[in-house]
Amino acid sequence: MARYAPPPGEKLGTSPDFVITSGPNKGKTVDAMYTTDRLSQKEIDGLNKFYEKNMVYGNGQKVIQDHLQKADFVPVDFRVLTPANQNIL
């Protein structure tokens, strides 16, 4: 797997994170969600505090749909979500 390199002129934020470089899924793209390497503890706490509200009334479902539009595979890192929030997803 390698970092995805967007083509020149592609709008920022519309590209997946990675591209698979070998094997049966070579060329498929990956866009991860809730990865902790880019979130501060304050952001993780805020995510969990408002997660249910965002999924039911906010733009949480749209965010997931946006990730699904960007990539072939969208793994979700459940480590940052509380058990209650994991059940919502």
**Distance (Å, whole) CA 22 – CA 63:** 28
Two tokens at 56? 């039911």
**Distance (Å, whole) CA 32 – CA 24:** 20
Q: What is the DSSP letter of 79?
A: G
Domains of the chain by residue range: 2-88
Residue 18 has a pLDDT of 95
Query: Of all residues in the chain, what percent carry a pLDDT higher than 90?
Result: 52
Checking if the pLDDT of 7 tops 90, the result is: no
Checking if the pLDDT of 34 tops 90, the result is: no
Residue 29 has a pLDDT of 96
Nearest to 33 by CA among 2, 57, 64: 64
Residue 9 has a pLDDT of 85
Mean pLDDT is highest, among 15-29, 39-53, 74-88, for: 15-29
- Give the global pTM: 0.77
